[in-house]
Amino acid sequence: MSTMSGRGILAGAAAVAAAGAACVAYGALIERKWYRLRRETVPVLPAGSAPLTVLHLSDLHQTAADRRQRGWLAGLAEEPVDLVVVTGDMLGEPTALAPVLATLGAFRPRLGAVAVLGSNDYYAPRPKNYLSYFLPRRRRRLAKRNPWQDLVDGLRDLGWTVLANERATIAGGRIELAGLDDGHIGRDDARILVPPAAGAEARLRLGVCHAPYLRSLDAFERNGYDLVLAGHTHGGQVCLPLAGALVTNCDLPRGQARGLSRHGSSWLHVSGGVGTSKFAPFRFACRPEASVLELVQR
């Protein structure tokens, strides 16, 4: 009896180990490169406005060798949209600067392209203990610098609007933008999110940030931004059926880790992201994605 019981335990352990290995292989070899394009409709424009399409990209974490991601993004650049917004973490390593600029340079939306930086644009990734993401507070250790200033200069040379605690307008002033620098490493300054000067009118007030910390979302909402775009969460990167995202890597509730939701009077769209850190090349129940948002009348 004990021998049979021991064999059963060993068989069960072997089955669990095999299932775990299969999940890891699936997440690393299949799902993390199983790109998709999501579409959402956002009722955010005032009456009488024509629809506006926004392509939201985030968290490319592109490496110099990642030809498959670049190929998918090259096809996506053919998507007819009015505006492209990238919410940070474009660089996956220092040598990815030229490939990233070549990739993003292929996008030529009708009204222009906007970007903010994320922590991985400033600092190269490093190996870490990913169980630390489940801790309520964890110490952040920054690695060597990425060529972030060359990235900013290169994007601006391509005609992009790059915002770091700055405001801007496009489309003849009909779209007002505010972009926060990355709050995940304490570079955000919400003082720039003050209401526009008296008499200024915009069809859309669009907030852009990398990490959707509640302090940033509260500041956008408090100052009247209609729609806020963010990334950083990777949609949780590892999700479970019914439970969804396990972590968001910030104080955003797990139920808002990906997709469209409300934050007070503002709409919030969090991208699940296109890539992963090269030291964590794995996704589960959380496919890499970009999103086309069709903005329509309220």
| pLDDT for position 106 | 98
At 116, the amino acid letter reads V
Domain CATH number, residue 224: 3.60.21
Q: Which domain holds residue 218?
A: 34-297
Give domain status of residue 24, yes or no: no
Give domain status of residue 11, yes or no: no
Strand-by-strand arrangement of the 266-270 sheet: 166-170, 175-179, 204-208, 227-230, 266-270, 259-263
| CA nearest to 220, candidates 231, 211, 208 | 208
3-state secondary structure of 168: strand
pLDDT digits (tens, 9 = 90+) for 123-155: 999 887 656 665 665 555 667 899 999 999 999
Number of domains in the chain: 1
Pair of tokens at residue 119:
């922590």
Give domain status of residue 121, yes or no: yes
The DSSP bridge pattern shows strands 52-57 and 289-297 to be: antiparallel
Give domain status of residue 164, yes or no: yes
Q: pTM, whole model, 2 decimals?
A: 0.92
Give domain status of residue 44, yes or no: yes
Give domain status of residue 9, yes or no: no
Give domain status of residue 148, yes or no: yes
pLDDT digits (tens, 9 = 90+) for 217-228: 999 999 999 999
Give domain status of residue 149, yes or no: yes
